[in-house]
């Protein structure tokens, strides 16, 4: 499926995570809902217990029911492009220095993941801190 092809993009309120949001009023009670979930329930049917709605088009604003599928959370996460996958695919730091074995520090996080830091940038930050400390008379 082409990304964003034939998507029905929600034009109303958007959540901080990029999903369409709407407020439904029922007998004076207001409830905020995800637009893609309402679309699925309206055009496809009830969302089975334990399942979540996956955007096959990867467009969080899309409410096209043919782009939505009820799946387990595990399946939804495995289909996505989580931050750790994006980070692992990066070949350069944000300042353009290439991640090579000679120009990066690798370390494990508390959760078992691996992080990389650019040696060139770290050396520049250290030099800057040292210079500022020297100017302030701390060294």
What is the tens place of the pLDDT at every residue in 57-73? 999 999 999 999 999 99
Domains in the chain (CATH in brackets) are 21-79 (3.90.75.20), 83-135 (no CATH)
What is the tens place of the pLDDT at every residue in 92-123? 999 999 999 999 999 888 877 788 999 999 99
Please name every residue paired with 118 in a beta bridge, in sequence order, or none if there are none. Answer: 104
What is the helix (H) or strand (E) element at residue 75, kind and residue range? helix 73-79
What is the tens place of the pLDDT at every residue in 14-28? 999 999 999 999 888
Secondary structure (3-state) at 5 = coil
Q: What number of other Cβ atoms are within 10 A of residue 93's Cβ? A: 18
Structure token digits, residue 1: 């499926």
Binned at pLDDT 50, 70 and 90, residue 128 comes out as very high
> Could you say which DSSP state residue 92 is in?
B
């Amino acid at each position: 499926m082409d990304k964003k092809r034939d998507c029905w993009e929600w034009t109303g309120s958007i959540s901080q995570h990029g999903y369409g949001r709407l407020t439904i009023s029922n007998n004076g009670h207001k409830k905020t809902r995800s637009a893609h979930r309402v679309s699925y329930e309206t055009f496809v049917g009830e969302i089975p217990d334990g399942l979540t709605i996956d955007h096959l088009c990867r467009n969080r604003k899309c409410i096209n029911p043919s782009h939505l599928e009820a799946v387990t959370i595990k399946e939804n996460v495995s289909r996505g492009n989580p931050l750790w996958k994006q980070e692992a695919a990066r070949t350069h730091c944000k300042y353009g220095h290439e991640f090579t074995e000679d120009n990066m520090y690798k370390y494990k996080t508390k959760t078992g993941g691996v992080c990389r830091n650019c040696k060139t940038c770290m050396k520049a930050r250290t030099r800057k801190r040292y210079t500022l400390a020297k100017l302030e008379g701390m060294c």
